[in-house]
Amino acid sequence: MTMNHFIKSLIFFSVMFAFSCNDIGRTFMKFYTRKYETEQKILNTKPLFVAEDEKRSKVLINLNEVTKIQEPTDIQFPPHDSRYMFLLEKRGKVIVFDRSSRKSRTILELDVIYDSEEGLLGLAFHPEYPQKPFVYANFVLSKNGKDLTTISEFTVESPDSFDAMKIGKERKLLEVEQPYPNHNAGQVAFGKDGYLYIGLGDGGWRADPLSNGQNPKTLLGSMLRIDPNPDTSSNKPYTIPKDNPFLDGKLGLKEIYAYGLRNPWRFSFAPDGRLVLADVGQDKFEEINILEKGKNYGWNPKEGFHCYIENCKSESYADPIYEYGRTEGQSITGGYVYTGSSIPAIKGKYIFGDFIAGRIWAIDLPKNQETLDPQKTLALGKWNILISTFGRDKDGEIFVADYQTGKIFKLIEQAEK
């Protein structure tokens, strides 16, 4: 056996053994963390359109650089103010960017672990911010040898002053052990109902070896919904909404709103209050779901509209509204409904992209749960960027982050020639 064959065999058997040992599997994945890069290192100044998008209607946009950080994972704005842009770096920094002075400051630095898909992953403002000056963060910590997704509430001090603003007191709400360093998901967001929604992936590896997606007795692979106000009757740091689907705890954990998710990388709420979620696929399909309370979205028996395992009884699971295959992209990044005014052609449409392909699209959300025709998708272009997240300010304008360069861009209408 050659040395090359020996190394390949060693890696193969290590992977196989890891399936039966979470600790070794986690160590293996941390050691072999993939480095993501675009095919070309230079950003194209004008959008490209690949074969599939050439057949579709197009809206010509440009990406206007706003600022730059390191490995961005989230872009958030206070609910009633677009001056301050809050940016998250995977390695633990919360940075505030003043769009008026074009200055940046680090206002919090967390000691997170950032292997694979771990790190500082999501931020949400209290709906009554700054009167209630709280933000909620989703990040991964190491504690007693375990990786823990942590949801915490932080108090923002001097929220109206760029120079004095800082994130102070922490109140921990929830900890969830992660068996592997991928499929952590990571977003937190408030719905129109005032409750905090938390997206968790299936826990990682591939093909959900622990069957977390179909197990509502674990928080993994689910969308959670909580009231972040303390429950004084039970001394819990949060309260369970009275209309959560598993309130009695018999069929599922009380915090779960919906389940059967693989890796919900970004969700948002449409103007009508519906929860629109992008779920990253395994081998063949990326999908978009409009989540409804108590429903099972099928992972891992299903991937998109299709059976991932044989004889999956697909009628038992809620279908997505949209999917695309591997010829289009490899890792969906969910976005927002565009409610701004600078690009009239996409007004009211849901904007999303693909992390690997660097492509951005727009679709009309269905009135109910109808399946959308992919050929009616609007193509906005392809860039040499890794689309890690989108953001939307109070005026409804949309921003996008490039994980590779750290650049934050605003979507603008392409000027007439």
Percentage of the chain surpassing pLDDT 90? 85
Residues 16 and 151 in one domain: no
Neighbours of 161 (CB within 10 A): 9
Closest of 43, 72, 73, 47 to residue 58, by C-alpha: 47
Residues shown for the chain: 417
Range of the domain at 323: 33-413
Q: What is the CATH number of the domain that holds 58?
A: 2.120.10.30
Tens of pLDDT, residue by residue over 86-122, are 999 999 999 999 999 999 999 999 999 999 999 999 9
- Predicted confidence at residue 376, as pLDDT, reads 95
Whether the predicted pLDDT of 18 surpasses 80: no
Whether the predicted pLDDT of 40 surpasses 90: no
Residues 27 and 117 in one domain: no
Tokens at residue 193, please?
Answer: 């109902």
Tokens at residue 167, please?
Answer: 């994130």
- Predicted confidence at residue 29, as pLDDT, reads 59
> Across all residues in the chain, what is the average pLDDT?
93
Whether the predicted pLDDT of 247 surpasses 60: yes
Whether the predicted pLDDT of 320 surpasses 90: yes
Whether the predicted pLDDT of 22 surpasses 80: no
CA distances from 76 to 25, 113, 212, 401 (A): 34, 22, 29, 11
What is the total count of domains within the chain? 2
Residues 8 and 52 in one domain: no
Residues 11 and 60 in one domain: no
In which band, very low, low, confident or very high, does the pLDDT at 19 lie, cut at 50, 70 and 90?
A: very low
- Predicted confidence at residue 7, as pLDDT, reads 45
Contact 223, 198 (CB under 8 A): yes
Residues 178 and 162 in one domain: yes
Phi, psi angles (nearest 5°) of residue 18: -65, -25
Whether the predicted pLDDT of 348 surpasses 90: yes
Residues 64 and 182 in one domain: yes
Mean pLDDT of 33-54: 85
Residues 51 and 122 in one domain: yes
Residues 64 and 199 in one domain: yes
In which band, very low, low, confident or very high, does the pLDDT at 30 lie, cut at 50, 70 and 90?
A: low
Residues 122 and 161 in one domain: yes
Whether the predicted pLDDT of 13 surpasses 90: no
Give the type of residue at 11. I
CA distances from 343 to 59, 175, 380, 414 (A): 9, 41, 11, 9
Residues 24 and 167 in one domain: no
Residues 7 and 121 in one domain: no
The C-alpha R_g of the chain, in whole angstroms, comes to: 21
Between CA 289 and CA 319 the distance in angstroms is: 7
Mean pLDDT of 136-152: 97
Tens of pLDDT, residue by residue over 250-296, are 999 999 999 999 999 999 999 999 999 999 999 999 999 999 999 99
Percentage of the chain surpassing pLDDT 70? 91
306-307/302-303 β-pairing = antiparallel
Tens of pLDDT, residue by residue over 391-401, are 999 999 999 99
Mean pLDDT of 362-367: 97
Mean pLDDT of 175-179: 98
Please give the model's pTM, rounded to 2 decimal places. Answer: 0.93
Whether the predicted pLDDT of 316 surpasses 90: no
Residues 141 and 8 in one domain: no
Whether the predicted pLDDT of 231 surpasses 60: yes
Between CA 270 and CA 119 the distance in angstroms is: 27
